[in-house]
Amino acid sequence: MSDKQKIQLSELNRYLVGGAVRDRLLNIDRSDKDWVVVGTSEATMQSLGFRPIGKNFPVFLHPETHEEYALARTERKTGKGYKGFDVDASPTVSLEQDLFRRDLTINAMALDTEDNLIDPFGGEQDLENGLLRHVSEHFSEDPLRVLRVARFAARYHSRGFIVEDSTLELMRELSDSGELDYLVPERVLQEVLSALSEDHPAVFFTVLRVCNALTNLFPEINKIYDLRPDTDKPLLELELAAHLTQDVRIRFSVLTYLINKFATTSLGEPKDTSAIRKFCRRLKTSTSYRTLAEQVATYSDRVMTVRERPASDTVEMLLALNGIRDEKSFEEFLEACSVQLSVLHQDSGVVRQAIELLRECRNSMRKVDAKSLAKNYKGDKLRDQVRQAYIRSVSTLLEEDSATE
């Protein structure tokens, strides 16, 4: 960057906005920063070395810090969903106009380069009062905001934040209008995974239920609430899991375990994971999320009964999990099971013993010399001989384990 560009850059009318301001006022460390630039054009930004990255809006990356800079803009609703907007990012758009389009007052504050707070809609006061309140009636123009507010409720639940009544009413109106049907799965999944990363992820779904969005977006989860009317924490297992692990994929598997469990009224072991497959297909989750979710729903309960089951059952389970060949995925499964089972049984010592026993069963199977068997057997005969060797190995291990109890 030339000296001239640096001078021009320093003269930009720029403001720190959004989450960076909110979190600073809450004394929360935050590394990423978003800026709004007022009174300039896309051409000027590019001439200063900024790299455009926005598909729908004029957003740029700083040439040196790589922080995001957006031109101040207004938005006008023109169609359904969150894409139906006309955008004005001309140099005449003011900072207050840009802040006015934002979702919540706590996200509609700015700091100038001298750290003076610009707060036209009372965001600082709402932070002090623990209120999630919409900036204006334009809140209703973007259905994704229903999920965003629920996510913020989950994030700040431990700080006592609640959704303000009139904002909750707007969320209900959005839910009842059918606008949520226009949300694309990728954006919904992004909000779900973000919510699952928070300290109180169950609050996200509770807020969605209160504003009538849960039925439309996640009927499987709404059913859990319907079938647990006598508890104030229908997703207690998810809340407990959040205390045990930060891994979003494991938290997701705990949630989908509940979805699968309540897909039918049977209290037996879940044999069919079609409810999970349907849920994951609709949200377009990655294969890794779906696979772990199905594994936990199908096999986690069996981990606790390895001692009581025939050795052949454990062998079939370990083969289905590909535990012999894929150690990384197997250990991820064990970690997820540890959380899931600890949530259900709430006796971490017993769970650890069960997990370790299954790991030892897998290790005993890995000691089987399949290459030696391959000298005398081929095809199906070889597979059967290897399987029988696995069963003998696991059976011996379980007998030894039983003898030492």
Collapsing DSSP to helix, strand or coil, 163 comes out as strand
Per-residue confidence at 271, pLDDT binned at 50, 70, 90?
Answer: low
Distance of CA 391 to the CA centre of its chain: 39
What is the spatial distance between Cα 85 and Cα 74, in angstroms, rounded to a whole number?
A: 10
What's the predicted TM-score (pTM) here? 0.90
Q: Decide: 75 and 87 in contact? Cβ < 8 Å.
A: yes
Give the type of residue at 345. Answer: H
The yes-or-no verdict on residue 265 having pLDDT over 60 is no
Per-residue confidence at 31, pLDDT binned at 50, 70, 90?
Answer: confident
| Tens-digit pLDDT profile for residues 363-391 | 999 999 988 888 888 999 999 999 999 99
**Range of weakest confidence among 17-21, 186-190, 343-347:** 343-347
The yes-or-no verdict on residue 1 having pLDDT over 60 is no
Q: Spell out the domains of the chain, with CATH numbers in brackets.
A: 1-121 (3.30.460.10), 261-405 (no CATH)
Average pLDDT, whole number, for the chain? 92
Average pLDDT over residues 326-345: 94
Q: What are the b/e assignments for 377-388, b being 16+ CB within 10 Å?
A: eeeeeeeebbbe
Average pLDDT over residues 34-42: 95
Can you give the pLDDT at residue 3? 52
Can you give the pLDDT at residue 396? 95
The yes-or-no verdict on residue 267 having pLDDT over 70 is no
What is the spatial distance between Cα 277 and Cα 275, in angstroms, rounded to a whole number?
A: 6
Average pLDDT over residues 244-251: 97
The yes-or-no verdict on residue 354 having pLDDT over 80 is yes
Average pLDDT over residues 190-196: 98
The yes-or-no verdict on residue 104 having pLDDT over 80 is yes
What is the spatial distance between Cα 149 and Cα 168, in angstroms, rounded to a whole number?
A: 9
| Tens-digit pLDDT profile for residues 63-73 | 988 999 999 99
**Range of weakest confidence among 33-42, 53-62, 183-192, 251-260:** 53-62
Per-residue confidence at 266, pLDDT binned at 50, 70, 90?
Answer: low
**Which of 144, 141, 134, 147 minimizes the C-alpha distance to 84?**
141
The yes-or-no verdict on residue 79 having pLDDT over 80 is no
Q: Decide: 257 and 359 in contact? Cβ < 8 Å.
A: no
Instruction: Identify each DSSP E strand in 33-126 by its residue range.
Output: 34-38, 51-52, 59-61, 68-71, 74-77, 85-88, 110-111, 117-118
Per-residue confidence at 341, pLDDT binned at 50, 70, 90?
Answer: very high
Find all residues with CB under 8 Å of 210, minimum gap 6, and list them.
168
